Amino acid sequence: MYEIEETNSEIQTKTVTGAEELVVNMGPQHPSTHGVLRVILHLDGETVTDLDCDIGYLHRGTEKIGENITYSMFIPYTDRLDYIAAPSNNLAWVTAVEKFFDWEIPIRANYIRSMVGEFSRIASHLLWLATHALDIGAMTVFLWCFREREMVLDLFETAFGGRLTVNAFRLGGLEQDVPAKFLTLAQEFIDIFPSRIQDYETLLTNNRIWLQRTRGVGVISGEDAVDFGLSGPLLRASGVNYDLRRAKPYAAYPYLDFVVPTGENGDIYDRYIVRIEELRQSVKIIQQCLEQLPDGPVSCKTPRTIKPPEGEIYHSIENPKGEFGFYIVSDGTETPYRVRIRPPSFINLAALKKLCVGGLLADVVAVIGSIDIVLGECDR
């Protein structure tokens, strides 16, 4: 059906009608693929007729590493998965391992875990908004978002000593309590952040160019989103009200009041609106954590050597990008028999073809940005 002619920079295929189809590489070294992602695009003029993703450039064998070290030693490795939201990865791992035991995690530790998890969501969404807006041509938003994100990273540094690959939690709670300065800075941040969110919206939400580039582009229905196994803002923007903080509460979320934002149209614009509202809800959750934070210990008594009983568990949390989970098989020793990671970016990226085929080449960059992927988690 096709005759292929190779050239220096691209492949041209001739269909049975004689029309030429271009096959073009986008990435892996491309700023708008948000990491080392290679997208192989088939084009009929400016229209995308097919695409495929080539991943694996950041593969580090994380799961096999987890099967050859102790449960506690694996915690820092989780930082390097979704390195934009490292504390969320820590939380998923420690809460998964804790399900093997009957430990009673101190309520103060759970509130701090939830609070830090929401700061992680804010940091992740700010980086997403900054780069997504820049992809579409909004430079000012990029600068403003990084201004606020630096404040969140300062908070992480104050509490845990790290800014990006933050090693925040331990099995049984926290290694040590957060300093009083952390709580003061947290309150100062959430006092000013709502007005900053409004500033972002002033620039983008009703901007004519932003609307033209996002409305009706990269559409996926709620039914298709569920069929693909999508999660996070990508799923909720299609009208599916599913958030693990509500569906399967963990940490302090059973005691916290918040709204799960959803969209209607499943396009890029709705994904933007959902994430903007999630920023506001994170502020609301953090404020409740600060007001309700009880006194007391931040860790329970755990054995020196962690040896879960034989068995298997799966546990997941609501990462900023979606459902992030661990499947662990224990053989009763101090190292896991099997570790399997459920990465939201990897699964959400599977829908890229559905979102792009039939659309314009110029929209591919905007669609990729709206998914919000991180390749450290995709490739593992």
Helix (H) or strand (E) holding 377, with range, is: helix 375-379
Residue 19 pLDDT more than 80? Answer: no
* pLDDT score, position 14: 54
* pLDDT score, position 163: 83
Q: Which domain range does residue 115 map to?
A: 62-349
- Residue 142 forms part of a structural domain: yes
- Residue 323 forms part of a structural domain: yes
Rounded (10°) angle between helices 268-292 and 361-371: 20
Residue 48 pLDDT more than 70? Answer: yes
Residues near 42 by Cβ (< 8 Å), separated by ≥ 6? Answer: 13, 21, 22, 23, 48, 49, 50, 51
- Residue 3 forms part of a structural domain: no
Mean pLDDT of 14-24: 65
pTM confidence score? 0.88
Closest by CA position to 294, among listed 115, 144, 88? 115
* pLDDT score, position 38: 86
Residue 288 pLDDT more than 90? Answer: yes
Under 8 Å between Cβ of 342 and 89: no
- Residue 315 forms part of a structural domain: yes
- Residue 372 forms part of a structural domain: no
- Residue 29 forms part of a structural domain: no
* pLDDT score, position 175: 87
pLDDT digits (tens, 9 = 90+) for 203-253: 998 889 989 898 888 899 888 999 988 998 999 999 899 999 999 998 889
Under 8 Å between Cβ of 164 and 76: no
Q: Which two structure tokens, joined as six digits, stand for 380?
A: 């593992």
Residue 281 pLDDT more than 90? Answer: yes
- Residue 19 forms part of a structural domain: no
- Residue 301 forms part of a structural domain: yes
* pLDDT score, position 222: 87
Tell me, what CATH number does 279's domain have?
A: 1.10.645.10
Q: Give 88-143 as a DSSP string.
A: HHHHHHHHHHHTTS-----HHHHHHHHHHHHHHHHHHHHHHHHHHHHHHT-HHHHH
Under 8 Å between Cβ of 368 and 352: yes
Percent of the chain's residues with pLDDT above 70: 94
* pLDDT score, position 5: 42
Residues near 223 by Cβ (< 8 Å), separated by ≥ 6? Answer: none
Number of domains in the chain: 1
* pLDDT score, position 84: 86
pLDDT confidence band for 1 (50 / 70 / 90): very low
* pLDDT score, position 69: 92
